[in-house]
Structure formats: structure tokens, C-alpha cells
């Protein structure tokens, strides 16, 4: 009977399959991630010497462009459904206040409609965003 010497296995792990899986997961998440592109409007805010910076975490921002376009937290909407969109944003995100960010040349009548929609949506308060001169 022939005696075979015991083979010693090396303690090195092959990491190639693990690295392959990590790269596949990285590619998968990069391809399936939903990238939100927020619409941007060039706004020239009205000036006020008493303006103070406020934290954004408790506010839903409504942007009113000079041409009448509306954005609620960067998402385009129209005046007819503004109250519903604000109600949903206030309640689902746990926010309490509405911030109106309107251009100097924006229609004052639309600003009043936005204030009314914010009240109907249940906002505790409404701020008008300005900039210091």
C-alpha cells in the first residue's frame, strides 16, 4: 500500500468572482437608477432689506416664473392642480410651510392664487423669498 503525502491547501482566496459580482451590481444600479432632472427657471427675486436665510427642510418651494410657469419643488405644474399638488407635498413629506419664490416681473394675481392654494392645502404659513439689495 502506497502512502500519499498530505497536500496542503494554500490559504489564499480567489477574489476574482467577488470582484466580478461587485462590478455587475455597480453596473446594474447605475443603469436602473432613476435620475431626476429638475427644471430650472431663471428667477430675479425682489429685494428686501429685512430678508433672512431660512432652512429648506420644512418648506415646499413654489416658483413663479415671469412667463407664468409654476414649479413645486422643481416639478412643473399648472395653476388648476396647484392646491392638490401642494396638499400632497405638504402631507407626504411632513413639511409645514410654503415658500413662494417669484420673479419681480411675475403677475401679482398669480401670486395671490398661489397664496390661496397654499392656504387650501393646509400650509401653516407662507413665506415670500426675497434677496438683500
> Is 74 within the bounds of a domain?
yes
91 or 9, which is more confident? 91
CATH number at residue 124: 3.30.420.270
Number of separate domains in the chain: 1
> Is 47 within the bounds of a domain?
no
pLDDT in tens, 10-28: 677 888 999 999 999 999 8
Q: What residue has cell string 468572482?
A: 17
> Is 5 within the bounds of a domain?
no
Rounded Cα–Cα distance for residues 128 and 45 (Å): 10
Q: 75: number of CA atoms within 13 Å, CB side?
A: 10
Q: What residue has cell string 420673479?
A: 103
Determine the structural domain holding residue 92 and report its residue range. 59-128
Q: What residue has cell string 398669480?
A: 110
Give pLDDT, residue 22.
Answer: 94
pTM of this structure: 0.59
Rounded Cα–Cα distance for residues 66 and 55 (Å): 25
Residue 55 has pLDDT above 70, yes or no: no
Cell of 96: 409645514
Rounded Cα–Cα distance for residues 104 and 6 (Å): 86
Give pLDDT, residue 78.
Answer: 86
> Is 28 within the bounds of a domain?
no
pLDDT in tens, 58-81: 788 888 888 888 888 888 888 888
pLDDT in tens, 81-125: 888 888 888 887 777 788 888 888 888 888 888 888 888 888 888
> Is 92 within the bounds of a domain?
yes
Amino acid at each position: 500500500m502506497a502512502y500519499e503525502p498530505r497536500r496542503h491547501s494554500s490559504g489564499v482566496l480567489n477574489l476574482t468572482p467577488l470582484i466580478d459580482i461587485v462590478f455587475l451590481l455597480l453596473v446594474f444600479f447605475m443603469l436602473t437608477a432613476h435620475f431626476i432632472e429638475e427644471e430650472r427657471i431663471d428667477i430675479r427675486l425682489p429685494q428686501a432689506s429685512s430678508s433672512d436665510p431660512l432652512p429648506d427642510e420644512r418648506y415646499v418651494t413654489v416658483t413663479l416664473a415671469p412667463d407664468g410657469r409654476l414649479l413645486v419643488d422643481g416639478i412643473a405644474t399648472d395653476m388648476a392642480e396647484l392646491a392638490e399638488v401642494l396638499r400632497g407635498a405638504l402631507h407626504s413629506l411632513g413639511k409645514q410651510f410654503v415658500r413662494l419664490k417669484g420673479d419681480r416681473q411675475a403677475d401679482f394675481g398669480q401670486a395671490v392664487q398661489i397664496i390661496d392654494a397654499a392656504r387650501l392645502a393646509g400650509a401653516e404659513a407662507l413665506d415670500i423669498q426675497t434677496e438683500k439689495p
